[in-house]
Structure 1
Amino acid sequence: MKAMRLRGLVRKEFLQIVRDPSAIAIAFIMPVVLLLLFGYGVSLDAHHVPLAVVVDQPSAQTGDFVGGLEQSPYFAPRRYPDIGAARRALVERQVSGIVWLRGNFARKLLSGDTAPIAVWVDGVDANNARIVQGYLQGMWQTWLQLQADRIGRKLTLPVQVEARIWFNPALRSRDFLVPGLVAVIMTLIGALLTALVVAREWERGTMEALMASPVTMSEILLGKLVPYFIMGMGGMLLSVAMAVWLFGVPLHGSLWLLVLCPALFLLVALGMGLLISTLAKNQFVVAQVAVIVTFLPAFLLSGFIFDINSMPAVIQGLTHVVAARYYVAILQTVFLAGDVWPVVLGNSLALTGMAVLFLGLAWRRSRKRLD
């Protein structure tokens, strides 16, 4: 391997990137679009949930409780005259739940008994139903405690819950989604971009010219790796900057870990892209294979959105061959928890092994021949 030839190949690749705006769009514009889309458009939080409120006998106590619902950012209560009208609204999907304050609500509260409320929740979306139920339970307990404090009476409940939320105390799904999205973006930049570029060279006939030159296959592969590694790291830094400064995602870990660990993952993605490019020489075929083999597993099986522990055992085992699983775990830990070394080191070791595997397979399958 000669340094002069390698430098010439890297320079050629950078010139080709400058002349082809699609590569720059994939590396820098696509991360911005995806981050804006997921950061502002996708949320697992429940805000302004339409809620039917039925009060059989209005009183100061019922008015105080309904007022708390109206002031809450989580609910958008709508008053209904009776439970029948509220049930029809729930069936017609006009509201997501019902809160029913029966006629004996104020009397039981003033007599010292627990004044129960009836809550019905639309369970079609099970995740949203659990969130609404949890919000209502928390608000109900807080309201009961305030009422007990006003009259100087101790609140007695069967179970006293004292919640302490670690790592994401604001309970913002954006803080959880945006770091994981960085892994999906780097998967697309590394695997898709590299595979498309090599396939394009075959289609344009420039790869045959390289094969006829004195350069070795190792020099050709490195000439592809270096420019797109630099572009991938640039896209990663842009994504991290947007996550921290635009979306306000807290960064509790070390900045140097956000350089070293992405470098490992990017080598895995580049290795997968080079390996895919050895299997097909058509851009359309390569793009389809890259999306199915790299993007979809990174999106569905990495823990980016769906909890891996909630998946069936067979699918959980399958996630261990998805490189994005390890990188998502590192990103979410570094951003939200800090430098938790058992998590960082274990997943970094897995990424190192996968980088060696994919780059080694790509090198072994690459030969200076035209068949």
Structure 2
Amino acid sequence: MDFSLSDNSRDYLSRVQDFIDQHIAPYESNYRKENQRFNAGPNWREWQVPPHVAELKAMAKKAGLWNLFLPDAELGQGLSTLEYAPIAECMGHSLLAPEIFNCNAPDTGNMEVLYHFGSAAQKARWLEPLLEGDIRSVFCMTEPDVASSDATNMQTTITAQGDEWVINGRKWWSTGLGHPDAKFAIVMGLTDEDADKHRRHSMVIVPLDTAGVHIERMLPALGEYDAPYGHGEVVFDDVRVPKDHIIVGPGAGFKIAQGRLGPGRIHHCMRAIGAAERALDMFIERGTSRIAFGQPLLKLGGNTERLADLRVAIDQARLLTLHAAWQIDKVGAMQAIKAISSIKLVAPQVLQRVVDETMQLYGGAAMCHDTPLPDLLAVAKSLRIADGPDAVHRATIAKTEVRAWQERMNER
């Protein structure tokens, strides 16, 4: 295994870093203030994107720093999963950067679904404007009335009636639902309850202006509404879409989900590592510049040892994530399931640990938005739920380990 940067990856990484340093980082504090001014409170119908965001996106697109996540030389920049991973880490230093480069969730995942599984008509109508950044999208999977950590529990129904699909159900934590440019959702639901449990569900494209789509509210995540994207609760009440809005066909939902979630988790985890690096820089800066009891904070209370442990933890998480990226490129997401589950377990935990220790050094300043620490903590904790609870990842890892052990025993 060789995780060294390719020439292509090194070039894009340098250009992305320069763009962040010159254009995004200087704007971040103003972005938060503007976002609070434009988008205060839960009234998502009045949310708007601060105007400078569109200007930065246009600059990034003109610079060729656009759709970097997509391994297609025409629609994206042709980077493999492993090549993109360090670039995603670089973006993770900033809470705004992924959007500026059109590399933000949930749109990247939806673009990957349409790129790999969409029909020609679906690509023309939905993928192309997403790739251009003209519209935004939503992914509706989690439901409030079932244990969504087991996705086979989904109760939303997608029923065939004539030349239409009829959707009924309730979804929540649907990221992006409050965005003023959100135009459609990919909805996962039950199409055949008598089929094998991983062939019961399907994904359909639902334009958000379709009759029967009722957005009820945006949900605050740890007290923040995450405007202008938001995480919404939405009801589908006899929503009708044409038959050609199904992706692949009935029963393909889990197959598509695995294809969507594999590379997307690499992106999440590498961004988490980038965020952890930012928090670690803040740990060192605070620890060396603040004096208490006659000494720098770094020299008190075991903070030097904590710094060393955090450094090692980040580096371990990075290597594990790069290994998962390498596996996806070599054998595909389905065959890399243990590696993917491992990074989903480890990377958010490491970010949360680094942020928590850094907050201890910052004291009261860490509790408000004078620093990015509250947002970084929210990202870490949210990932540990949005990407599935730790227990599920551990169960997947353990199951694959037992299976591998049994195969080894049978070969003897």
**Fold-level match, TM-score > 0.5?**
no
Q: Classify the TM-score, shorter chain.
A: under 0.3
Q: Which has the larger radius of gyration?
A: 1
Which structure: greater helix fraction?
1
Which structure: greater strand fraction?
2
The TM-score with structure 2 as length reference comes to 0.25
